[in-house]
Amino acid sequence: MMPSLTAERVRRDLDVVAHAGLGLDDFFAEAVESISRAVPNDAICVAGLDPSSLLLTSARKYGCLLGQDHKDAQWGLLEYGRDEETAFREMAAHGVDAVGLHVATRGEPRASDRMNELMIPEYAFHDEARLILRDGGHVWGGISFFRAGTGCRPFDDDEVEFLGTLSRTLAHGVRSGLLCTVVAEPQATPTGPAVLIVDRNDEIVQMSAGSQDRIDDLTAGANSGAAVNPIYSLIGAARRYGRGDSQLPPRLRVRGRSGMWLVINASPLSSSDGRVGEVVVTIEEARPPDIVPIVVEAFGLTARERDVAQMVLQGVATKDIAAALHLSAYTVQDHLKSIFDKAGVRSRRDLIARVYFDQYAPRLNQPLTPSGSFLPEQ
C-alpha cells in the first residue's frame, strides 16, 4: 500500500508545479520526477493531446524509453488505428481517468494489441498504467507508466487510484504550459502547406518543398519522441476513417517547438487499381479561427466566459455582446473581469494581443482570405 504521507506530499508538489507558469518541457520534467516517488516505474511517456480530436500532438519520454524512437510510428498506428478500450481516446470518451493494464486484462497484458505487438517484444514492458489529464470537459494529455521484466510487480489498485486523483492538477499545468511559448521568429511570409504522401507500407514516399522543416517543428524538446509521432497517429486515424470506423477525417492543432500553431489533416487516398492504405497528410500554419477555441479553452474559462471571450476577440462591443447573449451589460462586465483575471491581462486589447500577437503581429495589416488565413505578401 502506498504511504499516505508520500501520496499527499506528491499531490502538494504537483499543485505548486502546475500553478508555477512553467513551459511544457519544464512542467513535465518536474511532474514525472515527483509522481515517480509515489508510483515507481521503469519508463514514462507523456502524450500531448488536442482536446477537440484527442489526437497526439507530442510525446516526451523518460527513463529507459528516452532516445528509443525507432518504433514510434508503430505506436501511433496501433494507438489510433485499432479499437482498444485502454486507448487514450476511449478512456476520455468513457470518463476513465486512470487504468492499469494488468487489472484491465485480468492478468493477460498480451490481450492488448499495443502490449502484444510492441511494448512486450520490443521493450520488455509487462505492465502499463495510463492516466488521462482531464480538466472539466476537456482532455489535454495522457501519461503512460511502464514496468519492465516478466517478474515485474503490476501496478496495483491503490497506485491506479492515486494516479486518477492527479488528473485535473496535471491538466492545469498543461493548459498553462501551452500558453508560455512565444513564436521565436514569426514568419512574415507564410510558406504554404506541407504535403506528404504515405504508402500502404507506412513509408513517406513523397513530400512537398519545406515539409521537413514543418516536421522538425513537431519535436518537443530534449525528451521528445520522434518528430513524426503526430503524423503517424493521424495516419492510423485516417485509415480507421477510411474503413468507416469513425465519422470524421482526423485533424489536429499543435503548437510547434517554434511556438507557431499548426493544423495537420490526414485523409485516405483511393486509386484506380484498387489499392488501399495510402494517406495524404497536410501541415500548415493555423488560421486565427483555428487558434481561438484552443487558446480560450486553455485559459480555463466557463462556458459563458468562452462565449463572451469569443465575441471580444471578434471585436464585438459590450452592449452587443449583452444583446446577443441575453445578458445585462453589467453581467458581461463581470464576465470580462473574470476572463481578464484568468488570462492574466487587464483589457480587451491585452486579451487580443495574448491570443494573436506573437503569431500574427507581422501581418495584422494584411487582408484575410475567405478561409480566415492571411494573404501572402506580394
Residues with Cβ within 8 Å of residue 240, at least 6 apart in sequence:
80, 81, 246
Q: Do residues 265 and 251 touch, judged by C-beta distance below 8 A?
A: yes
Instruction: Give the global pTM.
Output: 0.86
Q: Do residues 125 and 75 touch, judged by C-beta distance below 8 A?
A: no
Phi, psi dihedrals of residue 324, rounded to the nearest 5°:
-65, -35
Residues with Cβ within 8 Å of residue 171, at least 6 apart in sequence:
133, 134, 135, 138, 139, 140, 141
Cβ-count burial of 355 within 10 angstroms (0-12 exposed, 13-18 middle, 19+ buried)? Answer: buried
Quote the pLDDT of residue 296: 83
Mean of per-residue pLDDT scores for the chain: 88
pLDDT in tens, 9-51: 999 999 999 999 899 999 999 999 999 999 999 999 999 999 9
Quote the pLDDT of residue 327: 94
pLDDT in tens, 173-219: 999 888 776 554 545 445 679 999 999 999 999 999 989 999 999 99
Quote the pLDDT of residue 65: 96
Quote the pLDDT of residue 190: 53
Each residue's pLDDT tens digit in the chain (378 positions)? 677 899 999 999 999 999 998 999 999 999 999 999 999 999 999 999 999 999 999 999 999 999 999 999 999 999 999 999 999 999 999 999 999 999 999 999 999 999 999 999 999 999 999 999 999 789 999 999 999 998 899 999 999 999 999 999 999 999 988 877 655 454 544 567 999 999 999 999 999 998 999 999 999 889 999 999 999 999 999 999 998 888 889 999 998 888 788 999 999 997 666 667 899 999 998 887 888 888 888 888 888 998 999 899 888 999 999 999 999 999 999 999 999 998 888 898 888 877 775 565 544 445 544 444 544 444
| Distance between CA atoms of residues 226 and 75, nearest Å | 11
Quote the pLDDT of residue 219: 92
| Distance between CA atoms of residues 200 and 181, nearest Å | 36
Phi, psi dihedrals of residue 72, rounded to the nearest 5°:
-65, -40
Strands 194-198 and 204-207: antiparallel
Cell of 54: 484527442
